[in-house]
């Protein structure tokens, strides 16, 4: 069986991904900043019968990422899920706020992807990378321009290194969720009264995703069932990014 790193793996979508991968028998390495949350998450994962290590580090720390990836006994893949985000009118966003979000999402992806690719190439071993972006990587979104810019960068990075590392047997894909009702996403992005209800009315399938529904796509892309898939983006957004119809002054379903 293979070993996969999941960044931001101690909660939300990352933990759901780790659980789903464990159910398929993959060993896991969970990465996040908070040690206590990592310990709790790893206990859940080990209960599913696989090995699970933890690493408390900041994905922005290139040296710490390289050291972790180099020192793992085995590693076959990484899921770049850790993301920075908060909603803010762009003219009010500080340079440091913009930088924090871009560095967590985009630089974090660069750090783990390159560390893994270097190791796999040295070992002449194949592997898989899955980057969690969002649909606003290509639609854009007001008040989260910092996150959209980072996710668009991740999308271009995904396709670029899929082409570059394909000959080395390293596949690189992305999953683009729409809105997923995790605790942190609801409190950070959709805290305004009625916002969650208004948004769900704009989704053809009429509801937000469960984190497990995102995890299902990730486990497919990280495993052998997608052996001929690289540079792909799997959109899992209930149809939201397909756009509004001419008649959509009325909510979907009416």
Nearer CB in complex with ligand HXC: 86/138: 86
Cα(173)–Cα(221) distance, integer angstroms: 7
Shortest CB 103 distance to ligand HXC, Å: 8
Is 185 a binding residue for ligand HXC by CB under 6 A? The answer is yes
Q: Using CB under 6 A, which of 41, 149, 189, 219 touches ligand HXC?
A: 189
DSSP element (H, E) containing 118: helix 108-123
Shortest CB 216 distance to ligand HXC, Å: 18
Shortest CB 169 distance to ligand HXC, Å: 31
Is 147 a binding residue for ligand HXC by CB under 6 A? The answer is yes
For the segment 60-99, give every residue that binds ligand HXC (CB under 6 A).
83-86, 88, 94, 96-97
Query: Can you give 146-191 as a three-state secondary structure string?
Result: HHHHHHHHHHHHHHHHHHHHHHHCEEEEEEEECCECCHHHHHHHCC
Q: Which of 107, 112, 136, 157 is catalytic?
A: 136
Is 179 a binding residue for ligand HXC by CB under 6 A? The answer is yes
Q: Does residue 219 contact residue 81 with C-beta atoms inside 8 Å? A: no
Between CA 15 and CA 238, with CA 150 as vertex, the angle to 5 degrees is 55
Is 101 a binding residue for ligand HXC by CB under 6 A? The answer is yes
Identify any residues that bridge with 4 across adjacent strands, giving them in sequence order.
28, 77
Nearer CB in complex with ligand HXC: 107/165: 107
Q: Specify the pairing of strand 233-236 against strand 3-7.
A: unpaired
- 227 three-class SS: coil
Q: Which of 136, 134, 82 is nearest to 109 (CA)?
A: 82
Shortest CB 83 distance to ligand HXC, Å: 5
CB count in 10 Å sphere of residue 160: 12
By CB under 6 A, the count of residues binding ligand HXC is: 19
| 247 to 125, 139, 252: CA distances (angstroms) | 52, 20, 10
For the segment 192-251, give every residue that binds ligand HXC (CB under 6 A).
none
136 part of the active site:
yes
Shortest CB 104 distance to ligand HXC, Å: 6
Nearer CB in complex with ligand HXC: 121/236: 236
Shortest CB 23 distance to ligand HXC, Å: 23
DSSP character string of 72-101: -S---EEEE---------GGG--HHHHHHH
Is 53 a binding residue for ligand HXC by CB under 6 A? The answer is no
Is 134 a binding residue for ligand HXC by CB under 6 A? The answer is yes
Residues involved in catalysis:
136
Interacting residues toward ligand HXC by CB under 6 A: 83-86, 88, 94, 96-97, 100-101, 104, 134, 147, 178-179, 184-185, 188-189
């Amino acid at each position: 069986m293979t070993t996969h790193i999941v960044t931001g793996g101690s909660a939300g979508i990352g933990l759901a991904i780790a659980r789903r991968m464990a159910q398929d028998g993959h060993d896991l390495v969970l990465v996040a900043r908070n040690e206590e949350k990592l310990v709790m998450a790893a206990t859940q994962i080990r209960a599913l019968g696989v090995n699970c290590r933890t690493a408390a580090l900041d994905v922005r720390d290139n040296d710490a990422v390289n050291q972790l990836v180099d020192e793992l006994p085995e590693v076959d893949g990484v899921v770049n899920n850790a993301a920075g985000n908060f909603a803010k009118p762009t003219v009010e966003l500080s340079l440091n706020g913009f930088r924090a979000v871009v560095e967590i999402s985009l630089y974090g992806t660069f750090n783990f992807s390159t560390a893994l690719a270097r190791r796999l190439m040295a070992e002449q071993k194949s592997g898989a990378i899955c980057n969690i972006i969002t649909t606003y990587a290509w639609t854009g979104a007001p008040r989260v321009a910092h996150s959209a810019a980072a996710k668009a960068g991740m999308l271009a990075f995904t396709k670029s290194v899929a082409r570059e590392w394909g000959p080395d047997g390293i596949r690189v894909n992305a999953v683009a969720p729409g809105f997923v009702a995790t605790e942190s996403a609801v409190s950070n992005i959709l805290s305004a009264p009625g916002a969650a209800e208004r948004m769900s009315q704009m989704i053809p399938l009429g509801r937000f995703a469960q984190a497990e529904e995102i995890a299902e796509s990730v486990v497919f892309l990280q495993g052998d069932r997608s052996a001929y898939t690289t540079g792909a983006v799997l959109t899992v957004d209930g149809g939201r990014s397909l756009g509004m119809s001419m008649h959509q002054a009325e909510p979907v379903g009416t």
